[in-house]
């Protein structure tokens, strides 16, 4: 990485050191949530170097971009069949679509949160069953809703297990410096102006000067732009 980048910040630990400690403490009951965004792939690479058998999971909402599946396949080819996929409950999806149609998430924040719960939050709870810790690629720079996120949190919403956010203080430049240095696969949507990549109907490119999370749920206010996966934590 660029030597001029200052990685020594108050109350901040180097991601690899934090991950090493987390793996030593929790393996095999620790897992990485991978959405195949650049941050998650950086963390996946770090964890794989430390412990190749660390668990990794992904949530297939049923509405991901083709480009996301493309990079997921590149990850499989590079690291092996390490990602365990979780899917929403079929009956819950059918009930939602039957009652409210295909695009109810555009009608209100409440409807969008309902869709996210079915497609993301409930599968997450299954993915974390039996775990004592999980790892994310969250960064403070990503949005106004993440500025208070700590590097280590107690995840109250998932039974009080620990949640590690090793890149929380990293900048976009640091993430991409790592991607380039290690020649990691990345989602080609980044080359089309995307800065945050989620479900296809809910993600658009970001224009110069906009917030990094502006392309997620573009019709909503910034303070609402979380899907429910990252709530109810307290730093330690």
The span from the CA of 26 to the CA of 99, in Å, is: 42
Q: Is 152 helix (H, G, I), strand (E, B) or coil?
A: strand
Contacts of residue 29, Cβ cutoff 8 Å, sequence gap at least 6: 130, 131, 132, 133
Handedness of CA 135, 139, 145, 149 (dihedral sign): positive
- Is beta strand 30-33 parallel, antiparallel or unpaired with respect to 133-135? parallel
d(CA 208, CA 85): 34
Burial class (CB in 10 A: 0-12, 13-18, 19+), 132: middle
Rg of the chain in Å (alpha carbons): 17
Tokens 């969250």 label which residue?
138
Whether residue 227 lies in the annotated active site:
yes
- Catalytic residues, which ones? 227
């Amino acid at each position: 990485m660029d030597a001029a980048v200052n990685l020594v910040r108050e109350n901040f630990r180097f991601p690899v050191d934090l991950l090493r400690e987390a793996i030593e403490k929790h393996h095999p009951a620790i897992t990485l949530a991978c959405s195949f965004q650049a941050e998650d792939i950086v963390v996946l690479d770090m964890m794989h170097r430390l412990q190749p058998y660390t668990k990794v999971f992904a949530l297939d909402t049923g509405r991901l971009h083709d480009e996301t599946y493309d990079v997921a396949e590149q990850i499989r080819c590079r690291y092996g069949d390490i990602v365990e996929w979780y899917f929403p409950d079929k009956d819950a999806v059918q009930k939602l679509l039957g009652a409210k149609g295909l695009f109810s998430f555009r009608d209100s924040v409440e409807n969008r949160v309902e869709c996210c719960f079915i497609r993301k939050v409930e599968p997450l709870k299954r993915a974390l069953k039996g775990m004592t810790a999980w790892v994310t690629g969250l960064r403070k720079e990503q949005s106004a809703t993440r500025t208070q996120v700590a590097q280590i949190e107690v995840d109250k919403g998932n039974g009080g297990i620990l949640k590690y956010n090793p890149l929380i203080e990293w900048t976009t430049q640091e993430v991409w410096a790592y991607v380039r240095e290690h020649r990691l696969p990345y989602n080609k949507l980044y080359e089309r102006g995307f800065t945050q990549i989620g479900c296809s109907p809910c993600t658009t490119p970001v224009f110069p000067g906009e917030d990094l999370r502006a392309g997620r749920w573009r019709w909503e206010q910034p303070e609402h732009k979380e899907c429910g996966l990252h709530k109810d934590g307290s730093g330690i």
